[in-house]
Homo-oligomer: A and B are copies of this chain.
């Protein structure tokens, strides 16, 4: 400040007393003791004070306007991205494909055939992408939300050019506001290897994610479908499991983040249904297989198929006599849509009640993929889930749904997808 004042003083001297520069004994050199009263006098003359005030006004105006300006900028930057996406290598935080007429909000009723606007969380995942295919196929508008923790853009790339499809990179742990008619809430890693990776995040996804999507459903009056899991039955003491069974779940184990998270998600859904009148649907999904499954997430079907394609022996843990039920993904997707369109809250078991031992499964894989495949036995892991088999009589009766595709019919349908991906993977490694 002192320096500034000195500068100003000297400048004033330059202007008004130019002759002083020639003399070393000019008043400029002597004026220091008298500078304060002189500067004050100088300040008050020629409306200089007024101009300081004008300056303050200009400076303040900038800072007052600035927050609203900076608040605008992120929205502007995403709208710049909106129209420019075409390749999968490009990963913007929000890829939006504009609707033909530039409509905003939900599709107005009465203008042409009724089209639903549907959001599918986790829509880039294995089950989600098949569901999206079905919804797009019947003519609806679909918004996919995915954080791509286990989801892959490859599962949806064939839809990128469809104007009724939109993909948003978003984590459901954060709220989002959309105008939709239906919410399929699938977002959550579903394989132990993935959901144990960050158990606290798994709980957040299940609890806060479900809370956020239920809040959205409440705000916009959308119907909400929760994809729960057969894991809510834990290590069941009833076999097969009916929806009325309360389960046998360890609250403090390593798998609890998923099991308890999903149970709490169900609780939240029911509380929003009872308390806020939200139209809720709950599906409890049993083991499912099909194209686009994660290759190496430790599930037995993808393990066996991938191992056989790679010409490795199939790994059977324990004696191979533990049983599993496997449902083909298109059956599940049909069940989810039937549940959403129906009037029953649920919960509904969606699974294939056909039961196979691990050895029987290995035999089928051998038969339909590669007769030369071999089996390798390894000791069983500690938390290997015990047998689980859905009782689907409730879904049969109320939703008129039951699985149609047997293991022998379903397995071959996933082989070409797996073969391509394993081939690409190997090529990628070779580079």
Contacts and interface: CB of A to CB of B under 8 A. Distances in A.
Contacts of A15: 46-47
A49 B275 CA distance: 63
A297 B80 CA distance: 57
Could you say how many copies of this chain the assembly holds?
2
Main secondary structure of the interface of A (DSSP, over half): helix
Interface residues of A, number: 60
Interface stretch (A138-146, A241-249, A348-356): A241-249
Contact of A207 (B198, B203, B266): B203
Interface stretch (A30-38, A53-61, A85-93, A177-185): A53-61
Closest 9 CB pairs of A and B: A55-B55, A59-B59, A63-B63, A56-B59, A52-B55, A51-B51, A46-B46, A199-B271, A251-B263
Contacts of A56: 55-56, 58-59
Given A251-B267, A260-B260, 19 more contacts: A8-B50, A8-B54, A12-B47, A15-B47, A45-B46, A46-B46, A48-B51, A52-B52, A52-B58, A55-B58, A60-B63, A198-B275, A199-B275, A246-B248, A247-B251, A256-B271, A257-B271, A260-B263, A260-B264
A418 B264 CA distance: 37
Which of A15, A53, A274, A347 neighbours the largest number of chain B CB atoms within 10 Å of its CB?
Answer: A53
10 contacts: A53-B55, A198-B275, A200-B268, A200-B271, A203-B271, A251-B264, A251-B267, A252-B266, A256-B270, A263-B264
A261 B211 CA distance: 13
Nearest to A259: B267
Which of A207, A208, A247 neighbours the largest number of chain B CB atoms within 10 Å of its CB?
Answer: A207
Contact of A47 (B8, B60, B253, B261): B8
A377 interface: no
Contact of A48 (B46, B246, B269): B46
A260 B267 contact: yes
Interface of A: 4, 8, 11-12, 15, 45-60, 62-64, 198-200, 203-204, 207-208, 211, 232, 234, 246-254, 256-257, 260-261, 263-264, 266-272, 274-275, 282, 347
A379 B181 CA distance: 44
A228 B111 CA distance: 55
A4 B61 CA distance: 15
A267 B246 contact: no
A282 B256 CA distance: 16
Nearest to A60: B59
A58 B53 CA distance: 9
Which of A55, A252, A275, A282 neighbours the largest number of chain B CB atoms within 10 Å of its CB?
Answer: A252
